[in-house]
Structure 1
Amino acid sequence: MKNRMLVVGLGVLLAALFAFTYSKKETRKVPAKPNFIFILADDLGYGDLGCYGQKRIQTPHLDQMAANGVRFTDFYTGSTVCAPSRCALMTGKHMGHAYVRGNGEIPLRAEDVVIPERLKTVGYTTGMFGKWGLGLAGNAGAPPLKGWDEFYGHTHHVAAHFQRPDSLWTIRDGQLVPEAQPKGTFANEVFTNKALAFLQDHQKEPFFLYLAFTIPHAELHLPPKYLAPYLDQNGQSTFAPEKPWADGQHYGGQPNPKAAYAGLVTSIDDYVGKVLQKLKALGLEENTVVLFASDNGTHVEGGRTSADVEYFQSSGPLRGVKRDLYDGGIRTPLLVQWKGHAPRGKVSRHVGAFWDVPATLYELAGAAAGAELDGISLVPSILQKGTQPRHEYLYWEFYERGFDQAVRQGDWKAVKQRDKGNTLELYNLKTDPGETQNVAAKYPELVARLEQILRQAHVKSPIFPLAKK
């Protein structure tokens, strides 16, 4: 009898232990201070990745990242060009409120608090490698003054147009200084290697790594190993016929623009793969949130033509490219991988934008989110748990063509353009994602409501005066 009772008792104990272990596994909480990696491409189109429908360009690592995490379908950049988009990403403010609303080497101010500054207040080490574009040496937006512990890259936009720079900037003894580069060095190879070293050096402390590539933007130059997959055995482009881009212009010459663009996208994919492999080797996958996006839509510059955009379907089903406020200019791929926390292979149709990124990271890091933020946290969408708060609307404005505006509210998208007479165009993105059917005449009350949002979302800017209508 005693032996039988002992067996029963052991069985109950083992069952309890199993139940406790299983329960503990199911209710595992996220790390108190997860690491963050934000990887940003420069002028990558919404349709340039295999996981977003690309058929001609190889992106296996990013496709695997999508399979390992959450892929967002309705996520937007901060703007349709570089500097303001990055300002929205870093400050959490949309274009109606942001200080930097256009290109032109306009620095952030001391009062413009950015992600690395706030994360440092809760113990994060910060490193940025690539294109900053929000401040130069000697002004308030310089990387050492905006919370970066380590920096290696470009501060000036025009310098970032070229893939083999003579020098790059770095922080040394608290100061921003230039550092000469060996002739023929490809900048994005340097940025990737610096990022890998940062991970190695800071693996035992919470960190924020911002890896901001300068590709596939305009100068279509790349290491031969990335061009090779798109050349045949005779060294000719597999995308022939090609229309060569002549030397002697702002961007360097390129005999095979289509093959070079494809190779640049594949090079981004390879660099991302190296970062993900490093995380795995260091055992940091479960403690690191990795995000990947582009700063705006694909470009038509440096030898790349509208026909090339169409050939690759770089904007996917969307209308427009960089400098447009149609979705092809401002909707971006967004991939989020967080092993063990974000579920695998999920798709989120949440409508969000760059100004949501700071709020998201601050919530996960336990940092206070300032009242100035326009964004909301994406944590429920990333974890696929709980109720995801939604925006009343998303808003953009753009000045290079005078003054253009756009707003998305639910499935509705409105666009106003100076060169089209400032008449509001209205599209239903659910039924017309390509923004081909302007239905403004059918919905006058909706048009009036969106016109009101366009007025209230814009706050007067001291450096971007509103052009007269």
Structure 2
Amino acid sequence: MNKIFFLVLFLMLHVESFTQNKPNIIVIFTDDQGYADIGINGQVDDIKTPNIDLLAKNGVRMTSGYVTAPQCIPSRSGLLTGRYQQRFGLDHNGTIPLPLDEVLISQRMKKAGYVTGMTGKWHLEPNHQQKLWINKNMPELKGEKFKPSDIPFEKKEPYMSSNRGFDKTFQGYVQNYWANYSLDGKEDMEAQWIIQDGYRLDIQTNATVKFIENNSDKPFFYYTSYFAPHVPLGATKKYLDRFPEDMPQRRRYCLAMMSAIDDGVGKIKETLKKEGIEDNTVIFFISDNGAPLKLHMEDKPGVGVGWDGSKNTPWVGEKGMISEGGIRVPFIMNWPAGLPKGLVYDKPVISLDVAATCNALAGLQDTEELDGTNLIPYLNNVKKGAPHEALFWRFWGQSAIRMGDYKFLQSGQYEYLFDVTSLEHENKNLIDEYPKKAKVLKKRLQQWSRELKNSGIPVKDFNAQDAVFRNYYLKL
């Protein structure tokens, strides 16, 4: 009883404190990083991520942390809106850009008085693969295939980060950045394309640090979207020298890129400490989807298309699949003043929860628009049970639901039931042993699918890749 009393008192005092001084929030989102590739997940022995590991040791590591899709654009759309992206028809990369009428976390945080910013990969503006959007918005373009140059920048600009609730933006991949502040101190530029010298991951770290230094006297929300370890692989000698040459080249580059990100995390933490705001800053660390293994993790020459060197161990599958390897990712929360230290949390959570948690921390009213859950009460053991009754996925010709320990997955006309908490996880199909359980989960999945813009569960392959990926399961 005394423990409960003091816990309630502690939370009441902290709620009052944070009402007066809302916590800062940084969302670090990596690109094509597999579950194995943070040291603290304990799956490989060649990764070096001491600063990321420290985030978990001094915070909360979610071992069942998911994203909403095994591909970049839909996953980022789910994160930033806090809504299943299928609700607005953004099922995969080749559909539409993130619609302008969807409300982003950045816009919600601005409403709550936060200054907002971002750096790195955006990938949510129109692109040449989005035939649905092109046919509707650029009917003058004819044909089945389009080039990037077919879409003029004036068509993209409304969708850029600077017009989606981000006050300060340093959006870009390698050297070209759409920016309205600079790394040498300019704060109030008109958004414009600039060339930034340096290594892409160091640039994205430095943009984060500069924003923190410029805005440490007010509550802020910042989205650090590292372009790594996504191909094309690239690392400087400084980072490559940390790893031996007698390993697959693609693996070595991945390890070097993750080491650069890890240095960045350390530098961000140092900056927060220097500015006196470390304790009251929430940091999320999540990957946008699992690693693209390209089936065999072949160490092809060069640094372009192919395996990015990352690993999804111990899970089955890869990017493009809604098996665990495609959607179960590194997922950490760190908040020294408001979360326990060293907690390993195994109940399912999802990237949708970021928006709901930010909404609550900012003091905004709950809204039914958001599909996520405020994680703070669960991680502090104030709310019992699991944050979600069920989590859902639909991508290409695949659909899945996780309820409790079990996951029902349908790929085309093939159906599977897995206990994803067991040692066998997705290596053992239990559908013949538990047909009633599979039926219950499938019915709930169908119910969810009817809420979506393009309703229903696919019963045939979307493309040839679906059939290729299903070879992971056909042996079961």
TM interval, shorter chain, is 0.7 to 0.9
* Partner Cα separation in structure 2 for residue 454 and residue 25 of structure 1: 40
Change over 3 Å in CA distance of 1:128–1:413 after alignment to 2: same
- The equivalent of 1:265 in structure 2 is 258
Change over 3 Å in CA distance of 1:464–1:268 after alignment to 2: farther
1:151 alignment partner, one of 156, 159, 169:
169
Change over 3 Å in CA distance of 1:171–1:313 after alignment to 2: closer
| Displacement after TM superposition at 1:188 (Å) | 1.9
Bigger mean CA deviation after superposition, 98-107 or 427-436: 98-107
Local SS of the residue matching 1:415: strand
Alignment of 1:93-172 (within 5 A): 93-104=83-94, 106-135=96-125, 138-139=155-156, 140-154=158-172, 160=173, 164-165=174-175, 167-171=176-180
* Partner Cα separation in structure 2 for residue 378 and residue 25 of structure 1: 17
* Partner Cα separation in structure 2 for residue 450 and residue 345 of structure 1: 33
Alignment of 1:272-421 (within 5 A): 272-300=265-293, 305=298, 314-387=311-384, 390-399=387-396, 403-418=397-412
**Structure 1 residue 193 corresponds to structure 2 residue 187:** no
Change over 3 Å in CA distance of 1:148–1:464 after alignment to 2: farther
8 A contact 1:56–1:312 mirrored in 2: no
The residue identity in structure 1 corresponding to 2:179 is: T
**Structure 1 residue 426 corresponds to structure 2 residue 439:** no
| Displacement after TM superposition at 1:461 (Å) | 6.0
Local SS of the residue matching 1:336: strand
Q: Quote the sequence identity (%).
A: 31
Local SS of the residue matching 1:289: strand
* Partner Cα separation in structure 2 for residue 405 and residue 376 of structure 1: 22
8 A contact 1:79–1:296 mirrored in 2: yes
8 A contact 1:84–1:102 mirrored in 2: yes
| Displacement after TM superposition at 1:96 (Å) | 4.0
TM-score, structure 1 normalization: 0.81
**Structure 1 residue 453 corresponds to structure 2 residue 457:** no
- The equivalent of 1:219 in structure 2 is 232
8 A contact 1:105–1:134 mirrored in 2: no
| Structure 2: gaps (5+ residues) | 1-6, 127-152, 182-187, 301-305, 461-476
8 A contact 1:96–1:396 mirrored in 2: no
| Displacement after TM superposition at 1:463 (Å) | 7.7
The residue identity in structure 1 corresponding to 2:69 is: S
| Displacement after TM superposition at 1:388 (Å) | 5.3
| Displacement after TM superposition at 1:386 (Å) | 3.5
| Displacement after TM superposition at 1:261 (Å) | 1.2
| Displacement after TM superposition at 1:124 (Å) | 0.3
* Partner Cα separation in structure 1 for residue 457 and residue 406 of structure 2: 25
**Structure 1 residue 29 corresponds to structure 2 residue 14:** yes
* Partner Cα separation in structure 1 for residue 319 and residue 214 of structure 2: 37
The residue identity in structure 2 corresponding to 1:144 is: S
Any idea what the Cα deviations from partners look like across 1:439-467, whole Å, max 9, x if unmatched? Answer: 10111211211221221212476689976
**Structure 1 residue 83 corresponds to structure 2 residue 73:** yes
| Displacement after TM superposition at 1:287 (Å) | 1.3
**Structure 1 residue 178 corresponds to structure 2 residue 197:** no
* Partner Cα separation in structure 1 for residue 219 and residue 242 of structure 2: 38
Q: CA RMSD in A?
A: 3.0
1:435 alignment partner, one of 426, 443, 449:
426
Change over 3 Å in CA distance of 1:451–1:60 after alignment to 2: same
> Which of structures 1 and 2 has the bigger CA Rg?
1
Change over 3 Å in CA distance of 1:411–1:450 after alignment to 2: same
Any idea what the Cα deviations from partners look like across 1:8-58, whole Å, max 9, x if unmatched? Answer: xxxxxxxxxxxxxx9987863141211101101111111111100131111
Change over 3 Å in CA distance of 1:191–1:433 after alignment to 2: farther
* Partner Cα separation in structure 1 for residue 109 and residue 452 of structure 2: 28
Any idea what the Cα deviations from partners look like across 1:329-388, whole Å, max 9, x if unmatched? Answer: 100111111113211111111211111111111111101232111111101233343335
TM-score, structure 2 normalization: 0.80
The residue identity in structure 1 corresponding to 2:353 is: D
| Displacement after TM superposition at 1:171 (Å) | 3.6
- The equivalent of 2:246 in structure 1 is 238
8 A contact 2:89–2:95 mirrored in 1: no
8 A contact 1:82–1:103 mirrored in 2: yes
Any idea what the Cα deviations from partners look like across 1:56-113, whole Å, max 9, x if unmatched? Answer: 1111111111111111111101210111111111111124424422113832223201
* Partner Cα separation in structure 2 for residue 337 and residue 146 of structure 1: 26
| Structure 1: gaps (5+ residues) | 1-21, 155-159, 232-236, 243-255
The residue identity in structure 1 corresponding to 2:14 is: K
Local SS of the residue matching 2:106: helix
Local SS of the residue matching 1:357: helix
The residue identity in structure 1 corresponding to 2:25 is: F
* Partner Cα separation in structure 2 for residue 213 and residue 434 of structure 1: 30
The residue identity in structure 2 corresponding to 1:179 is: I
* Partner Cα separation in structure 2 for residue 321 and residue 327 of structure 1: 8
Any idea what the Cα deviations from partners look like across 1:117-139, whole Å, max 9, x if unmatched? Answer: 01111100000001111225534
2:45 alignment partner, one of 55, 58, 68:
55
Change over 3 Å in CA distance of 1:363–1:90 after alignment to 2: same
